[in-house]
Amino acid sequence: MKYIGLDLGSVTCGVSRSDTGFIAGPVRTIRFRPDDYDEAIDKILELLKEEKPDIVVMGYPLLENDDEGPRARLSREVGEVIEEESGIRVVLQDERSTTKDSEEFLIASGVSRKKRKKVIDQQAAVRILQYYLDKENKK
């Protein structure tokens, strides 16, 4: 099974991949005009044509009380469009704290502030996908 992880933001979408189903790694950051999710979806669909994953794992930023706020709703809706357009199953993965965890990891790894800014979205996508893979492998 091949997996793609997505961390959707307002101007970027971090992308990760796993070809093994055990370890996630960074792929790239997709950039799009601010809040232009049609452009984001088009670029994601293009990536999926290249990568041909079996499953897409999309970050789902629930609120601390587990409610679905505007960002989580947007992620769910984008995921539904991606699934419908690509025919690839999209699963939502709770992403609370992935960006913070990723930032701490990059700082601990000695990555400069300038470089962190360039890779933080990819690293968050790696964490989203890795959390999903870990959960699935425990089943």
- Least Cα distance to 129 among 54, 50, 42 occurs for 54
* Per-residue tens of pLDDT for the chain, all 139 residues: 999 999 999 999 999 999 999 999 999 999 999 999 999 999 999 999 999 999 999 999 988 898 999 999 999 999 999 999 999 999 999 987 666 676 777 677 777 777 666 667 788 899 999 999 999 998 7
User: What's the CA gap between 23 and 130, in Å, rounded?
Assistant: 7
* Domain boundary assignment for the chain: 3-138
What per-residue confidence (pLDDT) applies to 139? 77
Give kind and range of the element (H or E) at residue 65: none
What per-residue confidence (pLDDT) applies to 118? 65
- Alpha-carbon dihedral 99, 121, 115, 47, rounded to 10 degrees: 160
Structure tokens at 32: 């799009």
- Alpha-carbon dihedral 66, 78, 39, 131, rounded to 10 degrees: 60
What per-residue confidence (pLDDT) applies to 102? 66
Top CATH class of 3-138 equals: alpha beta
